Homo-oligomer: A and B are copies of this chain.
Amino acid sequence: MQSVMAKKNVSEILRKKGISVTTQRIEILKYLMQTKTHPTVEDIYLQIHSTFASLSRATVYNTVMAFKEVGLVQEITIEKEKARYDGNFEAHPHFFCRTCQKVYDLGAEVKLTYPHEKYKVESEQIYLYGVCEYCR
C-alpha cells in the first residue's frame, strides 16, 4: 500500500546521509528509489522535468554524483555510451539485453567469490550480457 515513498521519509534519508535537503534532491531520490529501470541522467531529467519544470540537467548530474558519494545510488556502466543509476545500493548483478537494451536486476543466485589479497576491494559490479526472456 505504500506505493510511492513519502517526501518526509526521503528527506530523512538525505538528512541522515549528512547532505543538505533540496526539492530537487528529494524528487530525484524518490524517483530512483521507486523505479527499477536503471535510468540515465537524461531519463531522470525528462521524467522529473515533466512535472517540475525548473529542474536542470546540471543538477541531475550534480545530484547523482552526490548520491553516489554518500552511498545512495550505484553507478551502472554496463554500456559504454552512458551511465545508469540504481537506487538500490545493495550489491547485485545486472543483465543487459542487447536486443531491447534494457538492464535487469539479478539476485543472489549469482555469486562472486574472491580472496582479498593485493587489492582492497571497496565495491564491485557484475554485468552479464545476452538476450532477455522477452526478446527471445
Contacts and interface: CB of A to CB of B under 8 A. Distances in A.
Given A77-B77, A83-B80, A129 B118 contact: no
B132 A112 contact: no
Interface residues of A, number: 37
Contact of A112 (B79, B111, B119, B129): B111
A115 B130 CA distance: 14
A127 interface: yes
Given A77-B78, A80-B77, A80-B83, A126 B112 contact: yes
Contact of A128 (B82, B104, B110, B124): B124
A70 to B, nearest CB: 16
A13 to B, nearest CB: 23
